[in-house]
A = this chain, B = another copy of it.
Amino acid sequence: MSLSDKEIIKRLEALAAKVAAQVMRGRPPYIEIPVRSFSNTIWDEKRKILRLGPAKARREFLDSKEVKKFMQTLLMLSLIVTARREGDYPTIRDLYYMGKHTITYRDINGRPRKEETWNEQRESNSIIEDIEVAVGILREDMGIMHDAKGKMVGNVIIRSKGHIIDCSKMGIGAYAIPPNPDRLEIIKVEADYVLVIEKDAIFERLNQEEFWKRENCVLITGKGQPDRATRRMVRRLWEEFGLPIYVLTDADPYGWYIYSVYRSGSISLSYESEKLACPEVRFIGVAASDIEAYKIPKNYVIIATDRDLKRANEMMKYPWFQSEAWQHELKLFLKRKEKVEIEALSGHGFKFLSNVYIPEKIEKRLWII
């Protein structure tokens, strides 16, 4: 799956080489970067993912408004190329510090001036994302590290650094998904489906009772809003092994949005959807309509906050929530103003979730898309 370090260095160098060529020809140099703003985010109806539009922006060296970003882009590019050449794995924060220094210069009136290459990590992170889009390589594949939240367990066999890792032999623990899952070789998967669980504690509980063994599935959690690595792993299991993917979250707009991030991508990372989104993901609950369908006791129900209602109203308008089923769910939520957590199902007994709710939703095809 993943590109070799050699190929990655080649692509990064190619971007820099364009600038060098401009300089050599005596032309004012610029770098062309696809625009990552909301205005250039497109809902691809056919492929059911959010993706980046065609707009590109030029960063001109000779434009006083652009020159700082031009400098930042080349600075970051050189840091990333150096790290790859030397086999280093900096974090995004390392790159911020590595590149941070004070530039001293004289302004047009000859006065000495000082300026930082960047002042906040937000700036350097944004440049890393620009480079990802410009060269079409995930930062993870460029060897850039960050936090990794995901865990996995089930009949998945992986090869990495010469070792064979059997995710069905983790005992009561689990396999912690690395930040760069494309560098894992998934050599064998024997499972009927993947169950993605919003909440880590529920993941742990289902792992303790070996739900994945009984149901022949793979369990994954991204601990709330998933990170890129967890999304990439889910995507690979779908894309390379054709597994159906089911998502289980709390019954609230926050949980439902998590489902949509796995499925369609997120607005802020739309340029990565083609690698991270998984447009056949199915939502198995907990849905707003489950509160009645599964007779969840009144005293387990939580009153929705104004923020929940605002969020649901926004989601009603998103192109990827336009299905009849989702519109029905969101309207029901806005009408009832009630939410519940996955754990509310425990009112029917500890094993209700694993013995009844999940198997029933899957067997009877009660999912929502």
| A binding-site residues for B, Cβ under 8 Å | 83, 86-94, 96-98, 100-102, 116, 143, 145-148, 151, 158-161, 163-165, 169-180, 183-184, 199-202, 204-205, 207-210, 223, 297, 299-300, 341, 343-344, 346-347, 350-351
CB-CB nearest in chain B for A88 = B350
Instruction: State in angstroms the CA–CA spacing of A289 and B174 once bound together.
Output: 39
The 4 nearest A-B residue pairs measured at CB:
A160-B171, A89-B208, A91-B201, A88-B350
In the complex, the answer to whether A343 meets B300 with C-beta atoms within 8 Å is no
Q: Count chain B CB atoms within 10 A of each CB in A83, A90, A146 and give the residue with the most.
A: A90
Instruction: State in angstroms the CA–CA spacing of A170 and B171 once bound together.
Output: 14
In the complex, the answer to whether B91 meets A204 with C-beta atoms within 8 Å is yes
In the complex, the answer to whether A201 meets B147 with C-beta atoms within 8 Å is yes
User: B residues within 8 A CB of A223?
Assistant: 147
Q: Can you give 27 A-B contacts (C-beta < 8 A)?
A: A86-B351, A88-B209, A89-B208, A89-B350, A91-B202, A93-B341, A97-B347, A98-B350, A100-B300, A100-B347, A101-B299, A102-B299, A145-B201, A146-B201, A147-B223, A158-B173, A160-B170, A160-B171, A160-B172, A160-B173, A165-B170, A170-B175, A170-B176, A171-B178, A173-B177, A174-B176, A176-B176
In the complex, the answer to whether B169 meets A163 with C-beta atoms within 8 Å is yes
Instruction: State in angstroms the CA–CA spacing of A204 and B96 once bound together.
Output: 17
Min distance, Cβ A32 to any Cβ of chain B, angstroms: 29
User: B residues within 8 A CB of A205?
Assistant: 89-91, 94, 145
Min distance, Cβ A12 to any Cβ of chain B, angstroms: 16
Assess A299 versus B116: contact at CB under 8 Å? Given A143-B208, A351-B88.
yes
Assess A172 versus B176: contact at CB under 8 Å? Given A200-B147, A209-B88, A346-B97.
no
Min distance, Cβ A234 to any Cβ of chain B, angstroms: 15
Assess A176 versus B173: contact at CB under 8 Å? Given A147-B223, A148-B200, A350-B86.
yes
In the complex, the answer to whether A171 meets B176 with C-beta atoms within 8 Å is no
In the complex, the answer to whether B346 meets A90 with C-beta atoms within 8 Å is yes
In the complex, the answer to whether A209 meets B98 with C-beta atoms within 8 Å is no
